[in-house]
Amino acid sequence: MNKQAFFLGCVIPLRFPGIEVAARRVFRQLGVECVDLDGYSCCPEPVVLGLTDRDMALAVSARNLALAEKAGADLIVLCNGCYETLAEADHAVRHDEPMKARVAELLASIGTRYEGKVTIKHFIEFLHDDVGLERIAEAITRPVDVPLALHYGCHLFRETTQRDTWRKPRMMKGLLEAMGARCVDYGLEQLCCGFPISQFDKDAALKERLLPKLRALSTTNAEALAFCCPACLNQFETGQGGVGELGVDVAKYPCVQVLELLAIALGMQPAELCLDFRSGSTKEFFECFWG
Amino acid sequence: MTPEAVRKLLEQGLTSAGLASSGKGKRRISIELAAADVKEAVLAVLQGGRSRFVTIVAVDTGLDIELLYNFSVEGVLITLRTNVAKEASAIDTITPMAPGAEFIEKEISELFGIEFVGNARRTNLVLPDDWPTGKRPLRKPLVGDVFPQARASVENLWSGGTSIRVGPSSAVKREKAGLPRVPPLASAKGLQMQEVKDLLARTGFEKRAGFDRRTGKLRYK
């Protein structure tokens, strides 16, 4: 088994460093040694950059994979978008011969290569399959005994080799339940957060995506909304303020990331999660239940 | 005269650095060169024996106006291709060597807004005399391959290797979280960042997108 390296992405280390802190603590406490992927770049982000130029996106992505391969590491990816980009680039390089040749030529021009030896796992997948829910449940010292609604994020449904697109979303729910959370159904778990639409029409993103989800949530007893994707989390945290500006009166929810919850469940204090920079009531939520 | 011989002749006559040539069919030669080298190249073509100027074709590529100078040399069509950046929109006239180019340069000037410096013709050729100076019927806005919503992300990727800007506020947040001020990104290591930039160039993206290396930004907003 290769060693493990975090693929932090852009959003977590630059906007939500508390999630990076939580990730490092969680994996260390569960006995998984993770190194940093030194010199990595944007995955690149699949919605805007990935659609801008496929050749460029694949080459930049393959360079990140080459870095991991050179370091003899497999990747644990902390972001849904990064996971999709890296997994698809890896799949293309392994299975698309013309693309493989093109990427090899481009990587050779900067003195590197990628031979497809890196295993890429979403952190949800790694925790579920490699660490195991039983081991996680045993390590928990402070169960997350709170009703939570889930937002999976579209890219969590992406699979490159399997047909079961619910594989990772089920894992996310299982992981939260292993922490002691009571997962609350609201019927719109699969609906997009609206981030891609917001790039073109911010109001439409709020009205057609965020608002229906908030209205559905308001019929439940959920105390917070749990995410694994930092882009979705950001869209919800900032978007809930935007919904207020639309003149719509709807309940707002704290937005929490799975790794933050797991860190708390493993004994970390809310004050260590760098919550001061978060929008909405996320800090209050953590302090109310675990402060 | 074979295309190869024409190419050799041109190469002997041209001293400009960076001249690239490529054959296109048996009786066609296409040579790409910098705008500053056009005059010298034209001189070389026209000095090469029985040769004549045919025409100039202009194409608006979004970022630049591409000019294709066509010459016939003993039945071989030689095309000298160059790009004139829209920000500059000016190139030297070739009328001292090819007087027949006067009217086509003027037509391109009126329709695409390229100034052929030194072209003596002043009166309009195809547009009405009272046509507004700044309005060029065949000229598109200055724009590259990057759609408006992606431009900030693309500039961030080029300058810092990330889709969002690595600014002072992220360093403050990270420090408060007890993390190093800068994550282990390529931008923190010069050589690694250069690799990312080289990839952007080698995929052709830098050119298609229209990066300005001097400013580190796209040439359009």
Q: What is the pLDDT of residues B77-122, one digit of tens each?
A: 889 999 999 999 999 999 999 999 999 999 999 999 999 999 998 8
Which residues in chain A are contacts of B146 at CB distance < 8 A? Answer: 52
| A21/B149 Cβ within 8 A | no
Q: How many CB atoms lie within 10 A of CB B88?
A: 12
Which residues 77-136 in chain B show a CB within 8 A of chain A?
none
Q: How many residues does chain A have?
A: 291
Q: B173 versus B26: which is more confidently predicted?
A: B173
What is the SS3 assignment for B173? helix
Token pair belonging to A222: 């959920």
Decide if pLDDT at A107 tops 90. Answer: yes
Residues whose CB is less than 8 angstroms from the CB of residue A267 and which lie 6 or more positions away in sequence, other chains included: A29, A141, A142
Do A56 and B145 count as a contact with CB atoms less than 8 A apart? no
Asked if residue B148 has pLDDT above 50, the reply is yes
Residue B1 has pLDDT above 50, yes or no: no
Q: What confidence tens digit (pLDDT) does each residue in A249-258 have?
A: 899 999 999 9
Tokens, residue A23: 């990730």
What pLDDT, on a 0 to 100 scale, did the predictor assign at position B15? 41
pLDDT digits (tens, 9 = 90+) for B176-194: 999 999 999 999 888 899 9
Q: In the predicted model, what is the mean pLDDT of residues A85-110?
A: 95
Nearest chain B residue to A81 by CA distance is: B163
Q: What is the mean pLDDT of chain B?
A: 88
Burial of A111 (0-12, 13-18, 19+ CB in 10 A): exposed
Over residues A16-39, the mean pLDDT reads 96
Answer yes or no: do B205 and A56 touch at CB < 8 A: yes
When pLDDT is averaged across residues B55-75 and rounded to a whole number, the result is: 94
CA pair distance A151, B53, nearest whole angstrom:
67
- The pLDDT, as a whole number, for residue B12 is 62
For chain A, give the percent of residues with pLDDT over 70. 100
ipTM: 0.90
Domain covering A3-122, topology: Glutathione S-transferase Yfyf (Class Pi); Chain A, domain 2 (1.20.1050)
Contact between chains at B189 and A39 (C-beta distance less than 8 A): yes
Does residue A234 register a pLDDT over 80?
Answer: yes
Average model confidence (pLDDT) across chain A = 94
**Phi, then psi, of A172 in degrees rounded to 5:** -60, -45
At residue B180, the pLDDT reads 95
Sheet hosting strand A224-227, strand order edge to edge: A182-184, A147-151, A224-227, A255-257
Q: Residue A51: is its pLDDT beyond 60?
A: yes
Domain boundaries, chain A: 3-122, 142-290
Domain B3-117 indexed as CATH 3.30.460.80: yes
Say if strands B115-117 and B90-92 run parallel, antiparallel, or are unpaired: parallel
pLDDT of amino acid B6: 54
- State the architecture of A142-290 in CATH terms: 3-Layer(aba) Sandwich (3.40)
Per-residue pLDDT reduced to its tens digit, B15-43:
443 344 455 556 788 888 999 989 988 98
Alpha-carbon distance of A193 to A203, in angstroms, equals 13
Name which of B166, B187, B199 is nearest A63 (Cβ-Cβ): B199
pLDDT in tens, B36-50: 989 988 988 888 667
Contact at 8 Å (CB) between A224 and A146? yes
Alpha-helical runs (H) found in B101-165: 102-112, 151-160
B146 touches chain A (CB under 8 A): yes
Tell me, what's the pLDDT at B3? 52
Share of residues in chain A with pLDDT > 90 (%): 87
pLDDT of residue B130 exceeding 80, the answer is yes
Contact residues on chain A for B170, CB-CB shorter than 8 A: 13-15, 17
3-state SS class at B85: strand
Query: Nearest by CB to A59, which of B146, B179, B199?
Result: B199
Cα gap A158→B53, rounded to integer Å: 58
Interatomic CA distance for residues A103 and A58, integer angstroms: 7
Report, as an integer, the average pLDDT of A276-284: 92
Residue B184 contacts A where some CB pair is shorter than 8 Å: yes
Domain edges within chain B? 3-117, 148-218
Residue A232 pLDDT > 70, yes or no? yes
Give the percent of chain B with pLDDT over 70. Answer: 87
Q: What is the mean pLDDT of residues A18-42?
A: 97
